Amino acid sequence: MALKGLDIFKLSPKKNCKECGSPTCMAFSMKVAQGAVSIDACPYFSEEAKAAMSEATAPPMKTVKVGAGENEYALGGETVLFRHEKTYVSKTRYAVALCSCMDDAVVEEKLAAIPKVDYDRIGERMFVEMVYVNYAPESGADKYVELVKKAAGLNRVLILGVEDPEVAKAALAVCKDSKPVLNGATPANYEAMNAVAVENGVALGVMGANDDELFDTVAALEKLGNKNLLINANTASIKAAYATAVRFRRAAIKDNNRTCGYPSIVNVAKLAMGDAHMQAALASVFTMKYGSIVVMENIGYAEALPLYGMRQNVFTDPQKPMKVEPGIYQINGADENSICLTTVDFALTYFVVSGELERSGVPCNLIINDAGGLSVLTSWAAGKFSSSSIAKYFQEADIEGKIKCRKLCIPGKVAVLKGELEAKMPGWEIIVAPREAVQLVKFLKDMQ
Ligand code: SF4
């Protein structure tokens, strides 16, 4: 929450020495509150005052980083309750659950299934980013550590579901460099678990039998100086899990309650054990309300395709057009003699068109210029996909120097550009392609 001028003035040195360029400390404080000058322009603000201000101006929800290297993910850091208010910043990550209570054959089957979901959708890689490894005390610590080792081999972020500090230490000894989440601080063990998490530099997941207990344990961990925390939604029932997720997020964003401002783990595998359909439905609910990590029993393509597509829609910034880079995209082993097609740089259009071109099996060069990230008709209406812009891009990108073929297909929806393009691009044969991408396969095959 932004600080007001008077709040800053209370912390100011009150010397009125004018060294900052303002006539008084009050005037300076007002300018800082407006963002017109930096607090560093005054050499006399104490470090304590600066620290207090940075705490007060910090976002209501903390950003917690888990994983390492290319598998590092930021969780939390949200500033709004609803996506239409601004945008969500850290997308929900999905985990598949393993348990040391499972038979070896089941574990092997799950480990083999996890990498199978891996595909691109509108430029984003969709795959299972995390693996939840639960410790069942009756299986023994050795079996658990072996399971953690096996899961680590998948190169995904691990979430160690373990409440025994000694077992946690043994498990972290084999995977701490990959920065897993240690998920198992409870009111009974939080001091010991905190020591293990801090020593290994990993985020700590906090649990409670109810929301009050959860809040108190988070507050106690904060007092110990640990703010690298995640909160677990109550798994007593679906209603209780939903209540935790919504209450904590609402308290963080609306009431500025920093103790509630942590990313969350929602274990839908526990909430609907054995019911894949219910888990898929719950995963959708908690992607919107407000799971930072959602744990499921299994994620195959049947679960992933709708779920990941929905996540992409929810976590895309509506203020930024989804675009692909301008350039020549060579499809099906195209070369300089292959036919050319052009369309707009709107990511959805690009992926639909390129998918159909791939399906045709015909080598072709898809030439994309900057059309503002809009669809074909919208960019044409806005003057961003016109004969002038296409001809200009062909000149600037030296398309004629790179490609010998002089046949260019334009989208059927802008057939009106054909005459203008022929006038502006002499030597090119302009061909009007179908209006719908799905018709491109037959169109290209017929042309061949
Ligand atoms: S330099 Fe600092 S102490 Fe001096 S007038 Fe400005 S704000 Fe006040």
Domain residue ranges in the chain: 5-57, 63-314, 327-447
Question: Is residue 1 pLDDT above 60, yes or no?
Answer: no
- Choices 2.60.40.1180, 3.30.930.10, 3.40.50.11600, 2.40.160.40: CATH for 327-447: 3.40.50.11600
> How far does residue 46's CA lie from ligand 1's centre (Å)?
12
Say which DSSP state 21 is in.
Answer: S
**332 sits in which H/E element:** none
CATH of domain 5-57: 1.10.15.40
The pairing of strands 364-368 and 181-185 is unpaired
Distance CA(258)–CA(76), nearest Å, equals 12
- Convert the pLDDT of each residue in 249-297 to its tens digit: 999 999 889 999 999 999 999 999 999 999 999 999 999 999 999 999 9
For 79-131, the DSSP string reads --SSTTTS---S--EEEEEEETTS-HHHHHHHHHHGGG-EEEETTEEEE--EE
Q: Give strand pairing partners of 368.
A: 327, 343
Question: Which of 332 and 316 is assigned the larger pLDDT?
Answer: 332
Distance CA(439)–CA(448), nearest Å, equals 15
Which atom of ligand 1 has the smallest separation from the CA of 21? 6
pLDDT band, residue 57 (cuts 50/70/90): low
The confidence score (pLDDT) of residue 102 equals: 97
Joined together, the tokens standing for residue 73 give 């993910």
Which atom of ligand 1 has the smallest separation from the CA of 41? 1
The pTM for the full model equals 0.78
8 A C-beta contact, residue 98 and residue 281? no
pLDDT band, residue 64 (cuts 50/70/90): very high
Task: Tell which one of 9, 37, 39, 44 to mutate to probe ligand 1, the residue whose CB is within 8 A of the most ligand atoms.
Answer: 44
Evaluate: CB of 435 within 6 angstroms of ligand 1. no
Least confident of 36-40, 236-240, 356-360, 373-377: 36-40
8 A C-beta contact, residue 179 and residue 72? yes
Q: What is the residue with the minimal CA distance to atom 2 of ligand 1?
A: 42
Least confident of 149-163, 180-194, 344-358: 344-358
The confidence score (pLDDT) of residue 35 equals: 67
Q: What is the residue with the minimal CA distance to atom 4 of ligand 1?
A: 17
The confidence score (pLDDT) of residue 361 equals: 94
Evaluate: CB of 46 within 6 angstroms of ligand 1. no
Evaluate: CB of 27 within 6 angstroms of ligand 1. no
8 A C-beta contact, residue 149 and residue 174? yes
Which atom of ligand 1 has the smallest separation from the CA of 19? 1
Task: Tell which one of 14, 18, 31 to mutate to probe ligand 1, the residue whose CB is within 8 A of the most ligand atoms.
Answer: 18
User: What fold, for 63-314?
Assistant: TIM Barrel (3.20.20)
pLDDT band, residue 2 (cuts 50/70/90): low
Query: Mean of the pLDDT values across residues 45-63?
Result: 81
Task: Characterise 18 by phi-psi region: left (phi > 0), alpha (psi -120 to 50), beta (else).
Answer: left
The confidence score (pLDDT) of residue 322 equals: 80
Task: Tell which one of 42, 45, 46 to mutate to probe ligand 1, the residue whose CB is within 8 A of the most ligand atoms.
Answer: 42
Evaluate: CB of 239 within 6 angstroms of ligand 1. no
pLDDT band, residue 124 (cuts 50/70/90): confident
What average pLDDT does the chain have?
Answer: 93
Task: Tell which one of 10, 14, 17 to mutate to probe ligand 1, the residue whose CB is within 8 A of the most ligand atoms.
Answer: 17
Number of H helices, E strands in the chain: 18, 17
> How far does residue 35's CA lie from ligand 1's centre (Å)?
16
From residue 399, alpha-carbon distances to 156, 334, 335, 347 in Å are 42, 14, 13, 21
The confidence score (pLDDT) of residue 233 equals: 97
Evaluate: CB of 244 within 6 angstroms of ligand 1. no
